[in-house]
Chain A
Amino acid sequence: MSVASADVAEYATWLGDDSLILAQRLGELISRAPELEEDVALGNIALDLLGHARSLLQYAGTATAQNEDDLAYWRTEPDFRSAHLMEQPNGDFAHVIARQLVSAHYLYELYARLQASADLTLAAIAAKAVKEVNYHRDHAAQWTLRLALGTDESRRRMVAALSDVWPYVDELFRDEPFIDRLDGIAARPSTLRTAFDAAIEPVLAEADLAVPRGFTAAGGGRRGVHSEHLAFVLAEMQVLTRAHPGAKW
């Protein structure tokens, strides 16, 4: 693997942390899904995301001679770069699906674009990931339809979930100044929004769901400013590793 520059490492950390934290959230659900088939499906999605996170964090670590576990287990909250969307608690199954619908559509556009990155390592990671998140996108879209058009209760829950999740959408498409230095390497977040809207709106329309209007969350994950939830996610994820500094597992 080639060695990432400091800027590329920062960018790989954005992407890696998003997938890591989302995989961690989905990991909480395994053995608690509404049906066994969903335990398998959510497990698959969590595994894919964890795979992407590992590749991205390994690459990010090359800049500072750290490995994926150094980054996952030994950084503290302000050094994480995850977006607030990924940190949100699971809530009911409708909330899980709403978060999946948004995140998978975002990740699809991201990796589709990143396949053409001038950074060959990022391009290779993206080429593999895009196929997997395409399946995640489909899984979320199918469930969005079932829940939105199923029963009165499921519709009520899906509408509430979508409006709870939607405030976190904007952050995904916000540019940070350092992205200017990664022209041709990073997928500039703001330029992914049109494709995201074009892909997600037909799903919402078919599900008879309106794009929620309301407030926009302040975000700040890319600068290390996180939701109240992240500290708990990290505390759980890191607890055993940190109790045994230097140990191998």
Chain B
Amino acid sequence: MTASVEEQQFTDLIAADSRIEPRDWMPDAYRKTLVRQISQHAHSEIIGMQPESNWITRAPSLKRKAILIAKVQDEAGHGLYLYSAAQTLGTSRDEMTDALIAGRARYSSIFNYPAPSWADIGSIGWLVDGAAICNQVPLCRASYGPYGRAMVRICKEESFHQRQGFEILLELMQGTAAQREMAQESVNRWYWPALMMFGPPDDDSPNSAQSMKWKIKRHSNDELRQRFVNMLVPQAAVLGVTLPDPDLRFNEATQLYDLGEIDWTEFHEVLAGRGPANAQRLQRRRDAHDDGRWVREAAAAYAHKMAAKPATDTADADVPNEAAS
């Protein structure tokens, strides 16, 4: 069977490393893969606000409080850019939100771990945002235009997030014995889950090959995980924290670090909804959505009433008439 003209164009655009735009023809499977990936990514930003917002009211200095509010607010902004990018593929934000709160959509499992300690705000920034950066920098070149462009904006902010996390840990490691202990204990809990953020090993990652062919994904899971560890090791030395992997060793031959065995059973447990905080995260999201329903309805009813008003009535409103018509 020969490819249609449209299909050929699509294949040519991908081959030329050009961008696919919302109006271009694309295979259904490409569209579906993107909607799945972008909406999962958006949900992760939104659920990811929770463990960190848990510490806004208790941040131990006003400066840290301000930085943390700004960071959580950035994550809400990331969610918004990504939902917009997914909407260009014909799926509405309401549909995506419904899927999330009904428990049908996935988000990054890392946010199903709790943040009981202030040092977790440091670990989340350093390790979780750090892993996100390794994952996301290549996505700035993703073949779908709106996704790639959203990722460019997001990545700029993620590097600030990682730096503030590193600074929190550095401050703790240079502090009292109790603070150092707090930092190490937290890194111990977040290190392995952060490595799992790159997804299952390459030989067990069913969707990766197709995504790489479509240039949505540019590097394999294991490759990205490896890059991440290479970045972490020298930073851990500066911090003075120990990465909790006794088998971690530099391999002269490959110039990469050999990692210990990752506990994929735990990964699959959390993925299956049996993580420490899955239920709590979803419930909180659902509660916010349900509690806010009357507010959203009010805003919609008000906008509707304003739009229905005759032009003479709105002459004194702050909206210029041209904009209202």
Residues of A within 8 A of B (CB): 20, 24, 27-28, 30-40, 43-44, 46-47, 50-51, 53-54, 57, 68-69, 72-73, 92-93, 145-147, 149-151, 153-154, 157, 236-237, 239-241, 244, 246-249
Closest to A149 in B: B302
Collect the chain A residues with CB atoms within 8 Å of residue B77's CB. 40
A153 with B294, Cβ < 8 A, contacts A27-B56, A249-B64 known: yes
| 6 nearest CB pairs, A to B | A34-B292, A150-B298, A154-B298, A43-B73, A34-B295, A31-B53
A240 and B118 within 8 A (CB): yes
Smallest CB–CB gap between B36 and chain A, Å?
Answer: 20
B62 and A47 within 8 A (CB): no
Collect the chain B residues with CB atoms within 8 Å of residue A69's CB. 61-62
Collect the chain B residues with CB atoms within 8 Å of residue A72's CB. 62
A47 and B69 within 8 A (CB): yes
B: interface residue count bin = 35 or more
A154 with B72, Cβ < 8 A, contacts A149-B302, A237-B58, A240-B58 known: no
Smallest CB–CB gap between B292 and chain A, Å?
Answer: 3
B80 and A40 within 8 A (CB): yes
Asked whether any CB of chain A lies closer than 8 Å to the CB of B223, the reply is no
How distant is the Cα of A20 from the Cα of B56 in the complex, in angstroms?
13
Smallest CB–CB gap between A248 and chain B, Å?
Answer: 6
A33, A36, A37, A38 — most chain B CB neighbours (10 Å): A36
Q: Choose the segment among B21-29, B173-181, B195-203, B230-238 that binds chain A (4+ C-beta atoms closer than 8 Å).
A: B173-181
Inter-chain contact count A-B, CB under 8 Å?
144
Residues of B within 8 A of A (CB): 46, 49-50, 53, 56-66, 69-70, 72-73, 76-77, 79-80, 83, 118, 168, 171-172, 174-176, 178-179, 284, 287-288, 291-303, 305
How distant is the Cα of A171 from the Cα of B288 in the complex, in angstroms?
32
Given A32-B287, A154-B297, A249-B172, 17 other A-B contacts at CB below 8 A? Answer: A27-B69, A28-B56, A28-B57, A31-B50, A32-B53, A32-B288, A40-B80, A51-B66, A54-B63, A69-B61, A145-B302, A146-B302, A150-B297, A153-B298, A154-B301, A247-B175, A249-B64
Q: Which of B65, B66, B296 contacts A34 (CB 8 A)?
A: B296
Smallest CB–CB gap between B319 and chain A, Å?
Answer: 11
A-B CB contact pairs (8 Å), 11 listed: A27-B56, A30-B73, A34-B292, A34-B293, A38-B292, A39-B73, A54-B63, A57-B62, A72-B62, A236-B58, A247-B179
